[in-house]
Amino acid sequence: MENESSLPPCGRKCKSGEDVELVARLSTPELELLPLPSRMSCCPEGLTCMLVFAIFAAVLGMFQFGYNTGVINAPRNIIQKFITDVYKARTGSDISEDFRDLLWSLIVSVFAIGGMVGGLIGGSIANKFGRKGGLLVNNILGIIGAALMGSSKISHSIEILVVGRFVIGVNCGINTALVPMYLSEIAPLTLRGGLGTVNQLGITIGLLLSQVLGIEAILGTAGGWPFLFGISVIPAVLQLLILPLCPESPRYLLISKQQESLAREALQKLRCSSLVEEDIEEMKAEDRAQQHEPETAFTEEFRIQPPPVEITICKLLKNRSLHLPLVIGVVMQLTQQLSGINAVLYYSTGLFMGAGLPENAAKFATIGVGLVMVIMTLISIPLMDRKGRRTLQLYGLGGMFIFSIFITITMLVKFLYQWLSYFSVASTLLFVVFYAMGPGPIPWMITAELFSQGPRPAAMSITVSVNWFANFVVGLVFPIMQRFFENYTFLVFTMFLAGFWTFTYKKIPETKNKTFEEISALFRRDEDTLNINGMNVLRNSLQPADLLFEENMQNKPSDQCEFQHRHHCRLRNMPGGPIVEGTPNHVEEAL
């Protein structure tokens, strides 16, 4: 009688003509005995229902980031009036304009300060609670921050508004560290680029929604602005409800927690298939390579079951082999912030009015900027795995470089013709188009790709904190730059863009369709590797008294072999152990 077992986790049958029920009844060992065409997934590979659901649940965190980045812009005048009224009610005197502007700047900038704090602790949270677990815990901060901001008017407290902005900033900082990590670790290899772009899609949708809701006809009023801030509670609560239904990152479970059975179960749900051995083996290969990386190689007592490797920020900074990918990750985050896009997002209405547009037209043009970002991010999703990250980054930076010059030119000659103001708007929109093509989405995903499982959380903490710091600096410095450089302001960003394009061209590798282990191998120094029977192995992965048979490129006569072996090889003993004699190509017997 046949052994009955359930179909794969999704319960769907394969669309091909194979006998799905026969495959479904076989256990994994029995499947290994089948010919390759029969060992097939019982569901189509790629974008499964559970994977889409998990992506949606996680990206709510990036939506939160985008929404709270843009929500502060529209009600500026209304909140400044709120500050004036509260101050007068408390002191009985009018607030000075300088002090009011200082409090307004604090409300705006404290969000980025909270983001830096959240980014720094994001890696530790990812290691302690997991990717999914960390996101769930983080929503507590999201709910608290939204509640504080929404209740600031009824409590007549500027301090509550400032604290709420800081708390929601910490929440968003943690999200920017955890969400890209989670998406990169659950995505199939061939879809990793496109799914990584969904990070930016969540941000742009949040930005657009905050701009739309912030207009005077909806919530941009004296009575509506607390609700505008309080809406932040919705994505936090929604994520708390649906994320528990999603699996934890299989890589975290297998490599960080050494829980293979749970990792296999999570993969089966995500892939909608019982056949996940290829993914499991790829993770194990990454785990083995990670154990042999400098500063993480395990000792003899752990050779059978190595401990999970967790690298702190200090260890990451001391590890020379990880310096280049870390520098690349940091520079990629700077390309996002120092390209001038934040100047466009924060001050686009003022830029358009300065170019000659009426105030109402300038506000709608600002909403058009958000809409263009959403559309172009959607377009870039399929391109990311077809054209590659490096190619799109170069195109994006190059286009931004060109149109930053056009923006400067239109600012200088806007008084000549009325139609030049519309050319300025078109140049700004095309600047945003090229940003959404590459520099927008790629920095979020590429840091997670450049590092293996151990150093990935610490690397994300560092690079995300740099992103938030640059965000803070641009928001603080850009108004000063406008006063000092006037119409030449964007030429500063033009110079940054030229430098970033050059760095990308010379230093950044293509990560399309490469496993995490293959990407990590690109940064290993040649002097750290040795050839053992045709395999490249890291020198520090070998323990004392291990035999190393290093291939010679030329045939050596036996009388020239330093240990007088019959084979043309050299038997070398690692420093610190006794010389052990053995026969070449019989390493097992020698050990």
Does residue 362 surpass a pLDDT of 80?
Answer: no
Q: What pLDDT was estimated at residue 308?
A: 52
**CB contact at 8 A, 469 and 176:** no
pLDDT at 334 over 60: yes
Does the structure show a pLDDT above 90 at 77?
A: no
Q: Do residues 247 and 50 lie in contact, with contact meaning Cβ atoms separated by under 8 Å?
A: yes
Is the predicted pLDDT of residue 470 greater than 50, yes or no?
A: yes
Instruction: Give the pLDDT band of residue 355 (cuts 50, 70, 90).
Output: low
Three-state DSSP state, 259: coil
The answer to whether the CB of 388 falls within 8 A of the CB of 485 is no
DSSP code, position 252:
I
Q: Region 14-43: what's the mean pLDDT?
A: 41
Q: Dihedral sign for Cα 40, 514, 341, 229, please.
A: positive
DSSP label of 538:
E
Q: What pLDDT is attached to residue 35?
A: 41
Radius of gyration of the chain from its Cα atoms, rounded to whole angstroms: 28
d(CA 421, CA 411): 8
Predicted confidence band of residue 321 (pLDDT cuts 50, 70, 90): confident
**Burial class of residue 266 in the structure, from the number of CB atoms within 10 Å of its CB (0-12 exposed, 13-18 middle, 19+ buried):** buried
Q: How far apart are CA 324 and CA 376, in angstroms?
A: 30
For the cut 70, the answer to whether the pLDDT of residue 246 exceeds it is yes
pLDDT at 539 over 70: no
CA angle 586, 587, 591 (to 5 degrees): 125
Both tokens of 452, joined, read: 């293996």
CB 75, CB 210: distance < 8 Å: no
- Across the chain, mean pLDDT equals 80
Per-residue model confidence as pLDDT tens digits over 81-120: 999 999 999 999 999 988 998 898 899 889 999 999 999 9
- For range 268-282, the mean pLDDT: 89
Rounded to two decimals, the pTM is 0.78
pLDDT tens-digit series, residues 169-212: 999 999 999 999 999 999 998 889 999 899 999 999 999 999 89
Q: Tell me what pLDDT residue 413 has.
A: 83
Rounded alpha-carbon distances, angstroms, from residue 198 to 62, 112, 145, 204, 373: 9, 22, 25, 10, 12
Q: Where are the alpha helices (DSSP H) in 71-96?
A: 76-91
Alpha-carbon gap, residue 470 to 476, rounded angstroms: 10
Distance CA 505, CA 179 (A): 27
Lowest-pLDDT choice from 61-70, 207-216, 341-350, 421-430: 341-350
The neighbouring-strand residues paired with 551 are 569
